[in-house]
Amino acid sequence: MASAEKVDTHAFITALKKIVSSAYFFWAVLALPSVPLFLTLAEESQRHRGAAAAHEIVEGSGVLATFLLLIALSLSPLETIFPKSRVVGWLLQRRRYIGIAAFSYSIVHLVFYFVDLGSLRDVLAEFATPGILTGWVALFIFVPMAITSNTVMTRVMGWRRWKMLQRGVYVAAVLVLAHWLIVDTEPAPLIFFGALALLECYRLWKNLTKRKPRETLANPVSA
């Protein structure tokens, strides 16, 4: 009886592990924050306040896209600090999905921005203003990154070229910071991006001070 229970528990844990490690589960987790956004849309539309809802979705999706971007960027420095962390390792294996989710929320952001403004003339009128232009340029940088974010494209482009393209994410991150600071005029983004900058500085310092094996062999006394 006890051994049957043990087998059941084992089978349950194995099934649970399989679900949690599946890509579908991770996509569901990434899609979850969109639920309150669309509930707001449904609620406000019923009250004939569609424009207010569109504006709320612009804000919510912008913040979500930015947080996912920050999470994706912080994983490599976090790996340097916690090389044995299973959570960081698990997330690193799924970083591509986090990046695509950030891009998808940026598209939602853009779509509801159009809905909010209501006319192409208004969109074009503010296109060149610093707060909006920074958003557009960041999004244009994300497009080729999102398109090439799969194994086939990594092979087609070659790892070096693919990696160089992906490094554009740092330029995009600076633009997103500028975009958020200009359109919202709140200091909060400085805290989030500041934390990422600190993590990146630590990673850089760690990489620079890492002794190369060849140097260590050449000068065993200093090892």
Name the residues that contact ligand HEM, by CB under 6 A: 58-59, 62-63, 65-66, 69, 106, 109-110, 113, 132, 135-136, 138-139, 176, 179-180, 183-184
To the nearest whole angstrom, how small is the minimum distance from the Cβ of residue 111 to ligand HEM? 10
- Which one, of 15, 59, 199, lies nearest residue 7 by Cα? 15
To the nearest whole angstrom, how small is the minimum distance from the Cβ of residue 25 to ligand HEM? 24
Q: State whether residue 185 is helix, strand or coil.
A: coil
By C-beta, is 80 or 166 nearer to ligand HEM?
166
To the nearest whole angstrom, how small is the minimum distance from the Cβ of residue 39 to ligand HEM? 18
By C-beta, is 185 or 209 nearer to ligand HEM?
185
To the nearest whole angstrom, how small is the minimum distance from the Cβ of residue 47 to ligand HEM? 20
Count of Cβ atoms closer than 10 Å to residue 196 Cβ: 17
Write out the two tokens for 96.
């591509």
CA atoms within 13 A on the CB side of 127: 9
By C-beta, is 94 or 179 nearer to ligand HEM?
179
- Which one, of 204, 197, 192, 203, lies nearest residue 68 by Cα? 192
